[in-house]
Structure 1
Amino acid sequence: MSRERRPPLALALAVAAAVVGVLAAASPRAEAELQVGFYNATCPIAEGVVFAEMHAILHEDPTLAPSLLRMHYHDCFVQGCDGSIMLRSRRGTAERDATPNRSMRGYDAIERIKARLETLCPLTVSCADIIAMAARDAVYLSKGPWYGVETGRRDGNVTVAEYAENDLAPPDSNIVDVKTFFSVKSLTAKDIVVLFGSHSIGTSHCEAFRKRLYNFTGAMDQDPSLDAGYARQLRKLCPRRHGGRGRRTKVPMDPGSGFTFDLSYYRHVLATGGLFQSDGSLLHDAATRGYVERMANASSPDEYYQDFAAAMVKMGRTDVLLDSLGEVRATCGVFVD
């Protein structure tokens, strides 16, 4: 989707700043479903508020954009897009306590947006929908595409760390493993290669790809599919004996374009094999490799933007809770009594 088809920032900010009057009651629906504009009757300023808050949040800390995009993926892949990733457990057994989520950032940003909406439209906009809208706005504010986000999700109240451990593809996955993880969510090979393009923004810690540099097969070797020059750069950043440095070092997933949502990720993967083994695995399947090659050589991002929008909308429909299935929490991280 071309960048021209997006709302001007001034308009979004003006809508978000408007004083809320009497909100019309929601029209009854014959069948529960996600839809663009779900809150038009019950909280018509919802998207404007989310966008305005996201604009302020990313102005304060632009590094949160990839984290908030990643949060939507991690939420949807574990029990569906139900906001359960936000729930806090006193026993350390929630999704956010799982290994794949320990480096997750942005929980406070979602709570900030939620608190603003609660003052305007109490108990109306779900945390799951806020996460979905924030992910879209993170992409847009990183110079990526704008697309319509379907809303109407309800929040889930079950959160289990083990589910996140089991349902999220680790960064050292091969293409067979990646396709298995995604197919369980009814996502295709094309969806995989399109959604992996989100690695165009953000960074990673050394531990996520250290095995690829120093012990790929268990024989103290390096992944032979990794470009030698790129591997040397990574070894300098992430030495074998790191003494804790690897937990602090942040390596861009798309060098030179870490805060711009564009096609350079595909050029990077094609030229070097990418940062993660799962990135490089896209070159080991005919369908995904063909897409990588086409995007790496594309003169315009328009096709990719359209594909990304479609894939995000599709992922956002994963096992959603509608109507009486689920709840709307006042605070995203706190269980309803």
Structure 2
Amino acid sequence: MRPPSPVPGPSSVFESSPAVLNSELYFLRKELDELKAKKKLGEKQIFSFDMICHSDEKVSQYTGLPSKHHFNILLQLILKYKIKYYAEWNVERISPEDQLLCTLVKLRLNLPLFVLSGMFGVVDSTISNIFLTYLSVIHKLLFKGMLKEIPCRELNRAAAPACFATFPNTRIVLDCTEIEVAIPSNLRTQREVYSSYKHRHTFKVLIGISTNAVITYVSDLYPGSTSDKVITKECGVLSHMTAGDLILCDKGFLISDLCAPLGVNVNIPPFLTNPQFTKNEVLATKQIARARIHVERAIGRLKNFRILDFIAPNFREHATKIVQVCACLVNLQYTLLKDNETFMSEV
């Protein structure tokens, strides 16, 4: 908390600019909020990482990370950076360990700010400051630091399970998912984010995974009315592709015309053009479905972060960062592929 400022004398008040006075007033109000919180809560923090670290199951339930070990690795990465707080005032009453815990609990369980403030013994504004600060730090470390490039098809082939044997040149498996968002006040924006598929207002994001079900691409968020093709064209994922790569995706991705000039192939389930599918079409549909199931499972894990159930108005401008951080946390979980799945040794 910012140390109390000395009370200015009459002359210094009139000599200060309005901006300086407003700044002083802002910090004094912050100090007052903290003092009120101390009085109300008796300076007692009733929840901490020490209370759950003995159980990996509890760590997973509260944070989405599989173990204490994973939590501590992430914490050590964060501690290497000098943290600049979102609200431009430092939080000192809570340890960095518990500030990380607070952030992960918000992402995983989406508890209201007032509940988190009671758990950690601070006011709502402090919880918001912690969350937005650590969200940005994790985003910089895990998303910008580790998801810059999409692994080449040779690496994908080396890690591919048996269901990709028919698709040895797979570079990425794509799918879109939608996230409900608070209705915008602007009428034009309302129309743009309304999803005729979900029948509600949503943001839409493109997710890409490698053959071993690791999330390797997460686009920015787009209005829910945006088509899969437009998102694929505009988000930049195709700029990572090279000639000979194969993209697996669903029927909604009519992107062959975008990929053909790049020498990139697209494989989607066949459309029904006759009264029924031929034997070969049925086989192709099953083969693609077996390979694509992993992207659906990855998105399922992503949606386990309850903050993605509904993006509240106060977090709308941070929604892209929230989704991308949650995707990175999914990658820190144990593998989606079963230990007994047969991997391709040769193609």
Question: Normalising by the residue count of structure 2, what TM-score does the alignment of the two structures yield?
Answer: 0.21
* Higher strand residue share: 2
Q: Which structure is larger by alpha-carbon Rg, 1 or 2?
A: 2
Question: Normalising by the residue count of structure 1, what TM-score does the alignment of the two structures yield?
Answer: 0.22
Greater RCO structure (CA 8 Å; 6+ sep): 1
